[in-house]
Amino acid sequence: VDGQLVAVKLLHRDAREGQVLSLVREATVLGGVEGLGVPRVLHFGRLVGSGRMYMVRELVVGDSLADLLATGAAGHRCLETVARAAEQISLLHRALLLHGDIKPANIIAAADGSVTLVDWGLAARWHEGGARPAGLTPRYAAPELFVGEVLTPRAEVFALGASGAEVMAHAAADLDDEVRVAVTHVLQRATHRTAAERYPSADEFAQALCHALGLSGGAAVGRRRVWSIVGLEDVHTALLRQASALPASGGLLLAGASGAGKTSLARRLCWSLGVAGRLVVWLDAAGDAPFEQRLSRALGAAAATQATFIVDDAHHLPNKDLQHLDGLRQRGARLILVVSPQTIAHLPGATFALFQLPPLNEQHAAALVRRMIPSLSNALVSHILTRTGRLPGVMRALIHKLEGSAVATIEDIERRLDEVPVPPGLVVEPAAIHRLLDRGRFDRAADYLRAYRDDSSVVIALARAKLATGRGKPQEALSNLRAVQAQLPASGKLLARWSLQMARALLRKGAYHDAEEHAKEALGQLGVGVEVKPGIEAAAGTLVAESLAVCGLTQSLGARHQEAAATLERSVMVAREAADERTLAVTLGSLAFALQRDDKLDEAQRAHEEALALAEAAGDAGHIATTRLNLAGIHKTRGDVAAALAHLEAAVDMGRRSGRVSTVRQALLNLANLNLYLGRQARAQASIDALRAERALLNRGALAQLLALEAE
């Protein structure tokens, strides 16, 4: 195809209906999944004259796992290929697709270690409860499939495990004894005769196998964004119905905004019409050769007047080419043009029927956005849907720009659209850096602080201490603060800010008594005490409220629950008077934490939920992450495991985006604990491995939790 090396599947002239449906299924699956490492379908249809069905797709360069085994490839490499195939399958499962025929012959390993799955003829849509298998390869099929049960992810785990077992049968001697035992244990669980005893997902199997092999498992895969094709079926059906009804010399415009998915839908229409026996000619407006030459080459010896022409981006064609197509249409050809709406009025020739491509269903679009960024609030999801018009291509572009960023407000979304990396040497005012730190934007603040590398002022030391505390490095924060102690004034707000930051760092370190003393010193420097009364001036209100919050937290952590509640209620009162959303979120979150420790879960949940709403309104990404972490604890205590998992995943997501390392670590500890409780050992192991990499940075409490998890 224009000099490109491709793969061609050509059915026999007498192919049975099942073979035809298998090829259609493969083309539909490959054409509907974007960015998942599967080969792209280039063309699909029937040969002129014989009517034999064919599919042209990208050529996958590499060796199948079956070939690797036959040629005596190293066992470790072959098992790594199985692990990478499992990672690939987990992506497809998230896109609600089941491969249906996983086996060594269908797993292709490239020289660079990447893996591609081929032969999608038995693929199935994964609905709730599973999917009816379209066929199977007995050697790799799960036992339940032989008695009529549905295809599920656990059945695909069995096929992956059976492929791994075949590797072990050929090359187990290549492995060290310790690795061989660990791999055997993983494969035995994956191929258990009872589905419920297997790994619940391909992702878990991949992580377990990677761990057994000493490989880093799935980090890149976990960050890749999976775009579901759910929600387009009804649109395709309606388009196919209208296109199929076109009479000779009929014309149809497939119109939609940029990013609406017109090309994907048009390709699928091309295949569907080809399956129905139509002579279909696919043409792109863009191309190196002249349009008429490309048209002639695509048509071959067939009669143009009998063909249905589908032309992508037809609005980019010059008038002479459009007029040539109109001439074919007048002689009986059917013409389907893919265009942008604003160009419709300028098309020459006879009039067309119109199919306007609608945006994604709101429910499907919202679910897709949440899958990409689980920490988003309802308001932000709604804004993204409005901002993108629910057009899948535009949604994907926006999500890509938000990748790795803390997103807590509408302004965050809009800013990221034009944001560029911080140029080296850019100097931003310290006050702006402090505002970023107060809103949990640790990574961005760290970028700006680089310009102050040689600055030893108190205000920069306070910023460094805030950053270190937020990232879970209290000792570094204390060092920065003590380094400027001699520069402090005898009284005033700057001294109060220093004392408050000392209190925060000591609280993070676990030195609760010293933290309380420094928080009380901050209050004294502001002219108030713990028994503060209403009427604090707004300018000092935020410092007073946050100092009271630290006092209350130290009291709660010391099991002085009644005293803590009284102190924290006063901190909330002062914050409400100050009318600062971020400060009120901090104080409410602190009160909720104390109530939670005192087993007052209803009151704690209400306070956390109000704090979360305020943090989202204020754009405090760090506090959003912390509040989600605490809400997870409440839901877990109440037995709502699904809600707990959702909050923990959101806490990890927002914590990583904002650079709040301490919250990420605690969320990973809690995730590991919950996954062990659920029997999802591979996912727990992934969290434990991430924490092991930072063992030297963990505080004593976190280290104790990690040791307990490792022991369990």
Q: What's the Rg (C-alpha) of the chain?
A: 31
Of 2-11, 215-224, 409-418, 514-523, which one has max mean pLDDT?
514-523
More confident residue, 533 or 102: 102
Task: State the pLDDT confidence band at 113, using cuts at 50, 70 and 90.
Answer: confident
- Average pLDDT of span 657-686: 85
Helix 75-94 to helix 202-213 angle (10° resolution) is 160
pLDDT above 70 covers a percentage of the chain that reads 89
pLDDT score, position 222: 41
**Backbone torsions φ then ψ of 109, nearest 5 degrees:** -105, 125
More confident residue, 674 or 39: 674
- Average pLDDT of span 314-324: 88
131 has a pLDDT exceeding 70: no
Q: What is the DSSP string of 300-355?
A: TTS-GGG-EEEEETGGGS-HHHHHHHHHHHHTT-EEEEEE-GGGGGG--SS--EEE
- Average pLDDT of span 659-682: 86
Q: How many beta carbons lie within 10 A of that of residue 226, not counting itself?
A: 20
Integer Cα distance of 415 and 413 in angstroms:
6
Question: Regarding the domain delimited by 231-358, which CATH topology (the fold level of the hierarchy) does it fall under?
Answer: Rossmann fold (3.40.50)
Q: Which amino acid is at 678?
A: L
- Average pLDDT of span 547-564: 94
204 has a pLDDT exceeding 90: no
Handedness of CA 550, 554, 556, 562 (dihedral sign): negative
492 has a pLDDT exceeding 80: yes
Integer Cα distance of 358 and 343 in angstroms:
17
pLDDT score, position 420: 41
425 has a pLDDT exceeding 70: no
Q: How many beta carbons lie within 10 A of that of residue 192, not counting itself?
A: 18
Instruction: Give which of 517, 581, 507, 506 is closest to 545, Cα–Cα.
Output: 581
Count of residues making up the chain? 712
pLDDT score, position 182: 93
Helix, strand or coil for residue 444? helix
- Average pLDDT of span 84-105: 85
- Average pLDDT of span 196-219: 83
pLDDT score, position 85: 93
Q: Which amino acid is at 670?
A: N
Extents of the domains making up the chain? 63-223, 231-358, 374-403, 622-712
pLDDT score, position 224: 47
7 CB-near residues (< 8 Å, 6+ apart): 39, 56, 57, 58, 59, 60
pLDDT score, position 167: 94
Burial class of residue 456 (count of CB atoms within 10 Å of its CB; 0-12, 13-18, 19+): exposed
Average model confidence (pLDDT) for the chain?
84
Contact predicate 85/113, CB 8 Å: no
- Whether the model clears a pTM of 0.85, i.e. scores above it, the answer is no
pLDDT score, position 705: 87
pLDDT score, position 417: 54
Helix ranges (DSSP H) in 152-201: 153-171, 177-190
Exposure string over 609-637, b if 16+ CB within 10 A, otherwise e: ebbbbbbbbbbbbbbbbbbbbbbbbbbbe
Residue-wise pLDDT tens digits, 241-283: 999 999 999 999 999 877 778 887 888 888 778 767 788 888 8
- Average pLDDT of span 171-176: 86
20 has a pLDDT exceeding 80: no
Integer Cα distance of 463 and 602 in angstroms:
36
Helix ranges (DSSP H) in 362-457: 362-372, 378-388, 392-402, 410-418, 430-438, 442-449
147 CB-near residues (< 8 Å, 6+ apart): none
477 has a pLDDT exceeding 60: yes
- Average pLDDT of span 348-362: 86
pLDDT above 90 covers a percentage of the chain that reads 36
Side by side, the strands of the sheet bearing 53-58 are 6-10, 53-58, 41-46
Task: State the pLDDT confidence band at 549, using cuts at 50, 70 and 90.
Answer: very high
pLDDT score, position 129: 54
**Backbone torsions φ then ψ of 496, nearest 5 degrees:** -65, -40
Residue-wise pLDDT tens digits, 575-631: 999 888 889 999 999 999 999 999 999 999 999 999 999 988 888 888 899 999 999
- Average pLDDT of span 90-102: 80
pLDDT score, position 223: 42
Instruction: List the single range of 221-235, 346-360, 579-593 with lowest mean pLDDT.
Output: 221-235
Of 65-79, 225-239, 436-450, which one has max mean pLDDT?
65-79
Question: Regarding the domain delimited by 63-223, which CATH topology (the fold level of the hierarchy) does it fall under?
Answer: Transferase(Phosphotransferase); domain 1 (1.10.510)
Q: Which two tokens stand for residue 148?
A: 């009529």
Of 393-407, 434-448, 475-489, which one has max mean pLDDT?
475-489
Contact predicate 494/457, CB 8 Å: no
Contact predicate 135/123, CB 8 Å: no
Integer Cα distance of 343 and 544 in angstroms:
62
- Average pLDDT of span 301-308: 76
Question: Regarding the domain delimited by 622-712, which CATH topology (the fold level of the hierarchy) does it fall under?
Answer: 1.25.40
97 has a pLDDT exceeding 80: no
Contact predicate 680/200, CB 8 Å: yes
Task: State the pLDDT confidence band at 466, using cuts at 50, 70 and 90.
Answer: very high
- Average pLDDT of span 371-382: 83
